[in-house]
Amino acid sequence: MVSVLPALVVVSAGWARPAALRAAGSPTARLTGARSTCLDPRQLAPCHRRASLAADGSDGVADALVRARAALSALRVPELRQRLEERDASWADLFEKRELVDRLAALVVDGDAPAAPAAAPAAGTDMLVRARAEVGGLRVAELRQRLADRGIGWADLFEKEELVERLAGAIASELRFCARSVVPLGTAANLGEEEARRELADGSTPLLLDVYAKWCGPCQVMAPALAQVAAELRGRVRVVKVDSDAATALASELRVQALPTLIAFRRGAPVHRAEGALSAQAIRRICDEHLLSPETRNT
């Protein structure tokens, strides 16, 4: 039986990164034209790999996926994206390195079969292309500042290309997020009752609702803090404000008994509420604990 090695090393127009080759357990590779030919034939021929996995059963597939992920994790994000593009696989809907690794590992183990999720719509790809064009001309310092303004880390990035990719991915995500909502990106939007109902009915992204009144002193005190959190969580949480006097039916349905009342909605359902004026730190804690996944809290 042909044994399964962690990954298939393929290089286009250049030498493979030594760290990537070591992590993949690959023997020395030699370039032939625009492709790298591995000296160990066991790493080639997807049909042999599939036959071996079929004989091993589901445990063999799972083990091969684990090893492929471990090998591919040594690659940088641009390299993972390039490998996916070489397999005609989309990555525009992926924004975490872990997701890129998982998709590429599935393709490698399955011999380049379409094991990944359905490709992102063309509109999403267009947004990413536009975002890259928008930020590609910025200086490194400007790229870092824009990432910092969004609360996105950049200390692990050392090349301008990596900064551009991370910022472009964030901007494309924000554009897609905003396209599904009437709430302006990064703001606490004051909506009428019908608009607010439509936002509440859309459970595709997290929502924080502030029920307030113009005559309410604590509501006015909390307003700047709410605006600050909305800016910090742009593209991750929709922040909506509703005047209880102008939306009495909605306020009654939501059982609002004090002002201001903050209600956190996840997947269209209320998951937490708080009454009284809160600081920006307290509002952010509510979002972190009830609306954001661990992966998106600090991105």
Whether the CB-CB separation of 23 and 73 falls below 8 Å is answered with: yes
Active-site position among 38, 47, 178, 219: 219
Percent of the chain past pLDDT 70, that is, above it, reads 72
Q: Is 219 a catalytic residue?
A: yes
* CATH class given for the domain over 188-290: alpha beta
Nearest C-alpha neighbor of 174 from the set 95, 120, 116, 229 = 95
Please determine, for residue 50, whether its predicted confidence score (pLDDT) is greater than 70. no
Q: Is 47 a catalytic residue?
A: no
> Is the N-terminal amide bond of 260 cis, ω within 30° of 0?
yes
Sign of CA dihedral 185, 296, 195, 124: positive
pLDDT bracket for residue 80 (50, 70, 90): confident
> 6-33 pLDDT, tens per residue?
444 343 333 344 444 334 443 333 333 3
> 214-250 pLDDT, tens per residue?
999 999 999 999 999 999 998 889 999 999 999 999 9
pLDDT bracket for residue 124 (50, 70, 90): low
Please determine, for residue 122, whether its predicted confidence score (pLDDT) is greater than 60. no
The whole-angstrom separation of Cα 146 and Cα 72 is: 29
Token pair recorded at residue 167 = 């910022």
Q: What is the mean pLDDT of residues 64-90?
A: 82
Domain ranges (residues) in the chain: 18-109, 122-179, 188-290
Active-site position among 38, 178, 216, 287: 216
| pTM attached to this predicted model | 0.50
Nearest C-alpha neighbor of 128 from the set 99, 164, 89 = 164
pLDDT bracket for residue 265 (50, 70, 90): very high
The whole-angstrom separation of Cα 273 and Cα 100 is: 36
